[in-house]
Amino acid sequence: MKYDVIFIGGGLNYVGAIFLARSGKKVALIEKDLAHIGGTCLNNGCIPSKKLLHRTKTLFETKEEYFTPSKLDIKKLLKNIEIERKILVSSVTKQIKASGVEVIEGVAKLISKNEIKVDDKIFESDYIVIGTGAKPFISEGIEIDYKKIITGNEALHLEKLPKEIIIYGGGAIALEFAGYFAINGVKTTLIYRRDNFKMHEKISQNLKQQLQKIGVELKFNTSIKSAKVDKKVEIITQNDKKLQTEMLLVATGRKANLEFLEYELELQKGAIKTNQYFQTSEENVFAIGDCNGKLSLAHAARKEAINVANFLNGKKEVLNLNNIPKFIFTLPLSYALIGVKSEKEIVYPLKALGVASAVDGSGNGLIVIYYDKDKFITGAELFMPNAEELISIFGEIIAGEMDAKTALNTTFAHPTFSEIFDYALRKIQ
Question: What is residue 70's predicted lDDT score, i.e. its pLDDT?
Answer: 87
Q: Please enumerate in sequence order all residues whose Cβ is within 8 A of that of 397, keeping only pairs 6 or more positions apart, or say none.
A: 377, 407
pLDDT in tens, the chain (429 residues): 899 999 999 999 999 999 999 999 999 999 999 999 999 999 999 999 999 999 999 999 998 889 988 899 999 999 999 999 999 999 999 999 999 999 999 999 999 999 999 999 999 999 999 999 999 999 999 999 999 999 999 999 999 999 999 999 999 999 999 999 999 999 999 999 999 999 999 999 999 999 999 999 999 999 999 999 999 999 999 999 999 999 999 999 999 999 999 999 999 999 999 999 999 999 999 999 999 999 999 999 999 999 999 999 999 999 999 999 999 999 999 999 999 999 899 999 999 998 998 888 999 999 999 999 999 999 999 999 999 999 999 999 999 999 999 999 999 999 999 999 999 999 997
Catalogue the long-range contacts made by 121-126 (C-beta closer than 8 Å, 24 or more residues apart).
121/1, 123/1, 123/3, 123/6, 123/28, 123/30, 124/1, 124/2, 124/3, 125/2, 125/3, 125/4, 125/5, 125/6, 125/28, 126/3, 126/4, 126/5, 126/284
Edge to edge, the sheet with strand 377-384 lists 326-328, 334-339, 377-384, 366-371, 344-349
Cα–Cα distance measured from residue 182 to residue 242, given in angstroms and rounded to the nearest whole number = 22
DSSP states of 285-338 = EEE-GGGGTS---HHHHHHHHHHHHHHHTT------GGGS-EEE--SSSEEEEE
Question: What is residue 191's predicted lDDT score, i.e. its pLDDT?
Answer: 98
Check residue 133 and give left, alpha or beta (phi > 0: left; psi -120 to 50: alpha). Answer: left
Give whole-number Cα distances, 161 to 152, 174, 179, 189, in Å.
13, 16, 13, 15
Domain 2-135+254-322 falls under CATH 3.50.50.60: yes
Confirm if 309 and 13 have CB atoms less than 8 A apart: no
Question: What is residue 47's predicted lDDT score, i.e. its pLDDT?
Answer: 94
Domain ranges of the chain: 2-135+254-322, 149-250, 333-425
The domain 149-250 is placed in CATH, from the list 3.90.190.20, 3.50.50.60, 3.40.50.2000, 3.30.70.1290, at 3.50.50.60
| Domain pair 149-250 / 333-425, same fold | no
Measure CA 18 to chain center: 23
| Structure letter (DSSP) for residue 54 | H
Please, what CATH class does the domain formed by 333-425 belong to?
alpha beta
Burial call 224-240: b when 16+ CB within 10 Å, e when fewer: beebbeeeebbbebeee
Where does 214-281 have alpha helices with state H? none
Question: What is residue 131's predicted lDDT score, i.e. its pLDDT?
Answer: 97
* 30-57 tens-digit pLDDT: 999 999 999 999 999 999 999 999 999 9
Question: What is residue 69's predicted lDDT score, i.e. its pLDDT?
Answer: 80
Neighbours of 152 (CB within 10 A): 22
